[in-house]
């Protein structure tokens, strides 16, 4: 009796153009050919969203024909993330373990989110955690990350930085959180990165300018990897003197460093 | 009199195999073709290290012939980073502004470090900062980042994380810092990422296991994008029960999340 070689959990990067208007960039501008080929070879997927995964695989197939027709591929959606502690998955709930069953039969499984790297500012960490607990090897493939592209382009401190996700929506809580992040940034000389749902981009920018001190540096990276993408870095005083309108349909990463 | 179109500062990702033994991965496994082509088109470079940049450009040229012969390219090294506050560059010292002069004449300038993305856990942020101050557009191109690949593969919290760079070398200070990071991680449910000079990988792992609590999760990503690379995630108790020897010549990213 031989045990089949175990499959691995392959963390597949996606492009960053999900939900954005206009022509998406060429897949070969944002993903390595080796990664595109790996995507074309996989037969089993776990996805944040099956529909966008099929759209991704169509783009992949235009570069490298899929080994298995799209209609025959297994694409299973991740269960909706539970609210609460991301460590909650340590108990390895049954549904997640079941998603990894093909790996025990020797199939590599691709994990993919709607944009960027899975399990970073995105669902998927619980499944990765589960893979480790089941001794399924985890391999992350290189691709675009809006957070690190924004950080690099910001000119702020790249030796110490934190990503804090979304800010509270309520006006008072948001203001308090912004002042807390500025204090944290000052104490540790640490760049603080955050994101927002695109239709609230302008609201968050206004809140940051209202609550941050004049000398604090604020960087805004808008539509990274898109043709019209840009990064602007300035002090809060500079932003107020030269305001910029942000689009409501393109992802933005905001970074601040207390002056 | 016409003003020439201004050149941009292009943040060029490098592969992650700098200084590692064995055959480096195919450049097309780690960099998008569009990025390789952009690298082949540039005539002006600012580099952490000129020699490794020439080696990079030879690999680029094997995929896409360089527009300008290697011998004729301008490759200028970044001044050694000053100790102290990374914000110190805000005063835009003369040498940095001079490095960007070709952009004012219409040339795109590539900024490249020895591995991964420039200006992230690497020199370069001061030059990027200077570019923003001079209204030179900054464009970050997608490529591998060991930090984000490690975070994705760790299964730890990817919704809130911090990169804190290197830990102190002195034994007592290092122990204190490890306990401080664990407390920070617990308070904010925030994954803490750190790196070490490869020959001290084993020493840092031993220190982490000595100072962290048994239920804290520790993930070690070793040689990401290399053939023999791996990520192992377990509790500190699990690491102690099943120890792993780390190589002394391959970069490792360490991530922890308090249990």
Q: Look at residue B1 and tell me if it is in a domain.
A: no
A60-69 pLDDT per residue, tens: 999 999 999 9
Domain that holds residue A125: 9-140
Torsions phi, psi of A133, nearest 5? -65, -30
Answer whether residue A180 shows pLDDT above 60. Answer: yes
Task: For residue A121, name the pLDDT band (cuts at 50, 70, 90).
Answer: confident
Question: Is A163's CB within 8 Å of B162's CB?
Answer: yes
Question: Is A126's CB within 8 Å of B155's CB?
Answer: yes
One domain, residues B178 and B60? no
Answer whether residue B3 shows pLDDT above 80. Answer: no
One domain, residues B216 and B125? no
What's the whole-number average pLDDT of chain A? 93
Candidates B86, B120, B122, B142, partner chain A, best to mutate (most A CBs within 10 A): B142
One domain, residues A111 and A182? no
A83 or B192: which leads in pLDDT: B192
CA distance B63 to chain A (A): 12
Mean pLDDT to the nearest integer, A208-217: 98
Predicted local confidence at residue B170, as pLDDT: 96
Share of chain A above pLDDT 70, in %: 93
Predicted local confidence at residue A82, as pLDDT: 55
Q: What is the CATH number of the domain that holds A246?
A: 3.30.950.10
One domain, residues B131 and B243? no
A63-72, A211-220, B82-91, B185-194 — which is least confidently predicted? B82-91
Does the predicted TM-score (pTM) go above 0.90?
yes
A86-102 pLDDT per residue, tens: 444 444 456 899 999 99
Answer whether residue B73 shows pLDDT above 60. Answer: yes
Label residues A40-53 b or e (16+ Cβ within 10 Å = b): bebbbbbbbbeebb
Say yes or no: A115 contacts chain B, CB-CB below 8 A: no
Candidates A123, A142, A161, A185, partner chain B, best to mutate (most B CBs within 10 A): A142
Q: Look at residue B4 and tell me if it is in a domain.
A: no
Q: Look at residue B252 and tell me if it is in a domain.
A: yes
Q: Look at residue A136 and tell me if it is in a domain.
A: yes
Predicted local confidence at residue A123, as pLDDT: 83
Triad B51, B36, A62: Cα angle to 5°: 160
One domain, residues A128 and A189? no
User: Of the candidates B108, B140, B172, which is a domain's last residue?
Assistant: B140
B102-152 pLDDT per residue, tens: 999 999 999 999 999 999 988 899 999 999 999 999 999 999 999 999 999
Rounded CA gap, B39 and B110, in Å? 8
One domain, residues A136 and A16? yes
H/E run at residue A11: strand A9-12
The Cβ of residue B58 has, within 10 Å, a number of other Cβ atoms equal to: 11
Q: What is the CATH number of the domain that holds B55?
A: 3.40.1010.10
Predicted local confidence at residue A66, as pLDDT: 98
User: Of the candidates A140, A165, A192, which is a domain's last residue?
Assistant: A140
Q: Look at residue B119 and tell me if it is in a domain.
A: yes
Q: Look at residue A4 and tell me if it is in a domain.
A: no
User: Of the candidates A96, A113, A140, which is a domain's last residue?
Assistant: A140
One domain, residues B156 and B125? no
Q: Look at residue A3 and tell me if it is in a domain.
A: no
Predicted local confidence at residue B232, as pLDDT: 98
One domain, residues B136 and B150? no
One domain, residues A17 and A40? yes
Chain center to CA of B44 = 21
One domain, residues A174 and A207? yes
B182-239 pLDDT per residue, tens: 999 999 999 999 999 999 999 999 999 999 999 999 999 999 999 999 999 999 999 9
Q: Look at residue A2 and tell me if it is in a domain.
A: no
Rounded CA gap, A86 and A237, in Å? 37
Structurally, how many domains does chain B consist of? 2
Rounded CA gap, B100 and A241, in Å? 25
A6-22 pLDDT per residue, tens: 999 999 999 999 999 98
């Amino acid at each position: 009796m031989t045990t089949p070689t175990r499959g691995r959990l392959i963390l597949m990067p996606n492009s960053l153009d999900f939900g954005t208007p206009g022509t998406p960039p060429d897949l070969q501008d944002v993903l390595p050919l080796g990664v595109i080929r790996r995507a074309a070879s996989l037969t089993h997927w776990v996805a944040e969203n099956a529909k966008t995964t099929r759209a991704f695989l169509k783009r992949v197939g235009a570069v490298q024909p899929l080994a298995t027709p799209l209609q025959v591929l297994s694409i299973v959606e991740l269960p909706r993330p539970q609210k609460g502690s991301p460590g909650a998955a340590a108990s390895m709930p049954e549904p997640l373990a079941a998603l990894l069953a093909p790996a025990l039969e020797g199939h590599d499984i691709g994990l993919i989110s709607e944009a960027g790297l899975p399990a970073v500012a995105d669902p998927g960490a619980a499944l990765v955690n589960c893979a480790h607990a089941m001794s399924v090897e985890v391999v992350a493939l290189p691709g675009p990350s809006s957070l690190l592209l924004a950080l690099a382009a910001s000119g702020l401190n790249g030796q110490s930085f934190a990503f804090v996700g979304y800010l509270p929506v309520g006006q008072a809580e948001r203001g308090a959180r912004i002042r807390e992040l500025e204090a944290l940034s000052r104490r540790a000389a640490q760049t603080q990165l955050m994101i927002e749902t695109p239709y609230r981009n302008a609201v968050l920018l206004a809140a940051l300018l209202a609550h941050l001190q004049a000398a604090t540096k604020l960087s805004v990276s808008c539509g990274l990897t898109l043709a019209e993408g840009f990064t602007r870095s300035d002090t809060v005083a500079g932003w107020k003197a030269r305001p910029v309108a942000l689009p409501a349909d393109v992802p933005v990463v905001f970074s601040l460093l207390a002056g």
